[in-house]
Amino acid sequence: MPSRQRLQARQAWPARPSCRAASRPAQASSSRPIPWIRARPGRRGSACTIGRMAVPGRVEAARLLLSLDPPPWLLRHSRAVGEVAAWLARRIAERGIAVQRHLVESAALLHDLDKAIPRGDAARALPHGDGSGAWLSAHGYPELARPVASHPVTRLVDGERYRRWSAFASREERIVAYADKRAGQRLESMAQRFASWERRYPDGWSAEERRLARARAERLEADVCSAAGVRPEDVGRLRWTSAAICAARHGSVRG
């Protein structure tokens, strides 16, 4: 029998969206549909989860990222987010909550790849996050599009899009979005991450938008950390990206 702690964790974690809701394409704030983030329909009578889809393994995800020749700072950030997300997904799974760990790891590693897409690629012209999702869909991985498209911190103040995301986001999407808010070039607190954004983009948000973004990020943090059974200050990294990148560079097919 599951322990009382595991039962409480399962009850506290947001339920997955219904099959009908999950199959709707997410939309940009202009209400124009983005068809490449539609979830694949499941077989009749099957559970509606992201897990039915094929996702790249660790080495293949690393190979996809390296194919774009990311600058060192982007590679460090991608690795940090990938390892924080992997750590959280493992903790959540250990508490008896179903989560697709491979999807979390791959999406987290690849979440910012639109910053390395070559000029001239159509995905480069899309908003941040959407570009990553479009590129992955075009290269055969549409199942990663939703988690990478919804990670940017700017989504927190994108009214209608945020409301849809907060209502229907999968467990995997929430983990990836939170991991990005805990890792710059290394693991850091969410307060440090927001301070970094504010230094780099001093005119990006109004005071009210900053307040709203922080409040929504704090709710996300409470949600994910509660599911993982940890305090925010105890979040760590699961060190997997170094081996995956080494294998990708040397042509290994494992992972």
- Res 160: pLDDT: 87
Give me the mean pLDDT over the 101-110 stretch: 97
Asked whether residue 40 is assigned to any structural domain, the reply reads: no
Cβ–Cβ < 8 Å for 99, 50: no
Is 96 part of any domain?
Answer: yes
Number of domains in the chain: 1
The CATH number for 165's domain is 1.10.3210
- Kindly report, residue by residue over 46-92, the tens digit of the pLDDT: 333 444 457 999 999 999 999 999 999 999 999 999 999 999 999 99
Query: Which pLDDT value is given to residue 66?
Result: 97
DSSP annotation of 37:
G
DSSP codes of every residue in 86-146: HHHHHHHHHTT----HHHHHHHHHHTTGGGSPPTT-GGGGSPTTHHHHHHHHHTT-GGGHH
> Counting every residue, how long is the chain?
255
**pLDDT per position as a tens digit, 146-201:** 999 999 888 888 888 899 998 999 999 999 999 999 999 999 999 999 999 888 88
pTM over 0.85: no
Does residue 56 lie in a domain region? Answer: yes
